[in-house]
Amino acid sequence: MESKPIFIGRHAEQSQLQEAMDSGKAEFVAVFGRRRVGKTYLVKQFFGNKFDFYATGIYGASIKEQLANFTRQLNQQSKVTYPQAADWWEAFDNLRSHLSTIKRRHITVFIDEMPWMDTPNSRFISALELFWNSWAADQPRLKLVVCGSATTWMTNKLIGGRGGLHNRVTRRIHLHPFTLAETEEFLARSGFVWNRYTITELYMIMGGVPFYLGLLNKRQTFHQNINRLFFNPQGDLIAEYDILFSSLFKDSSAYQRVVEALNRKARGLTRMEIQEITGMQGGGLTEVLRNLENCDFIRRYNAFGKLQRDAMFQLVDQYTLFYLHFRREFNSGNPDYWSANMESAGHRAWSGYAFEQVCLRHIPQIKRALGISGVNSEVCAWSGSGGQIDLIINRNDQVINLCEMKYTSAPFKLTKAYYEKMSSRRELFREQTRTRKALHLTLVTTYPLSHTQYSEMIPSIVTLDDLFVD
């Protein structure tokens, strides 16, 4: 293959694609993840946008329109005039005829937005099963890559399907949003000169979603960009909330009910609490929670000392959190709202919680800064009588890091009162959990601490610079 373009991040995903190319066997690669996260971009850039066949599904199109588009793409790329396919069996037969003529070392096929091709009563999955099982799986040169934003379809019908495609997908690539380091690199390559504090606040609003980052204007300040995208009547990210869920999930209203229930409580909810608020239960709720987790909207975690069945579910998608907190009920009509409210109590409350979510997305970086990357550990939280700790790293080396996350615009001054608060919470945790492990107070904050008589009494400090390590 030709030399690859320079990517931002995506190292593990590129390795999986390269391993598929070099495997010497037929490969069926499924790429899935949150909308706007860069699935199509990854595949096209890796292959240099050169495929022996490429087609994409059309959102909301009929089976007739989908088949016509598929046939049109096949005719253009094969230079052969195949008749209009009457159904998906005939469409895949025509594709097989085309691919059988290719003599190169690799045969690469990319079908984008595959879930949209599976219209009601189209029997698309049955035709795909026959194509793969009767011919494609026996072609060691063939590399079939498919992706789609409709996560329920990708995980239930393709990856987790129980029919003829059961266990046929050879590689699963779950594409996640950028980290802070990758976001910084993206912005630098786009000509932005923002500092890490500004980039972190941007991440608290948008997360590391490449498409959203691509909407930024380098000629505007950070605050001007947020005003334009969210609070201007024509803002590009105002309608995104409803589009986001309708494109990802078949029953989008059910997913929005769960997300909006989770938005009520910062620490998250148990499954029973979600049931009580939404009225959903059984397998339907299980599927919604699983798919929200697969799309990086929520995280599942255990409270310290609790069993798996007592897991908590927490909303962690930065865009969704920001939208529900500030934009959904926005009625001031002020297009400069964000700039005008930077010092408000609402902004301060939101920023503290949003920074916690950024930290939770960067646990590997926190562990690296603490020098414990190689130590097996469990990340959890604790809520007891009289206090709670949102990030606990319970290590197998008989140490527990009790993490306090503090977002400030200047170096944090650790006062006697704040140190005593942290110490009191540590002793409360020790008393109520009866742990015998050593308890290390850990502070995750924006800048190194201002020097006080108490700053040396916190053994572990993690700063923004640590979170930006790739």
Amino acid at 100: S
Residue 308 pLDDT? 66
Report the alpha-carbon distance of residue 297 to residue 317 in Å, rounded: 5
Residues with Cβ < 8 Å from 130, sequence gap 6 or more?
89, 92, 164
pTM of the model: 0.90
pLDDT class of 1 with cuts at 50, 70, 90 = very low
Question: What are the tens digits of pLDDT across the range 192-226?
Answer: 999 999 999 999 999 999 999 999 999 999 999 99
Q: Please give, one letter per residue, the 3-state secondary structure of 326-371.
A: HHCCCCCCCCCHHHHCCCCHHHHHHHHHHHHHHHHCCHHHHHHHCC
A 10 A CB-CB count for 70 gives 25
Phi, psi of 215 (to 5 degrees): -85, -10
Phi, psi of 194 (to 5 degrees): -80, 150
The tokens describing 143, both together, are 């590399």
Residues with Cβ < 8 Å from 64, sequence gap 6 or more?
none
The tokens describing 14, both together, are 């590129």
Place of tokens 């939280």: 381
> Measured in whole angstroms, how far is the alpha carbon of residue 284 from the centre of its chain?
22
Whether the CA torsion 449, 454, 458, 459 is positive or negative: it is positive
Q: Is the pLDDT of residue 4 over 90?
A: no
Place of tokens 């046929």: 168
Q: Is the pLDDT of residue 5 over 60?
A: no
Report the alpha-carbon distance of residue 343 to residue 40 in Å, rounded: 39
Phi-psi region of 436 (alpha: psi -120 to 50; beta: other; left: phi over 0): alpha
A 10 A CB-CB count for 230 gives 23
Q: Is the pLDDT of residue 2 over 70?
A: no
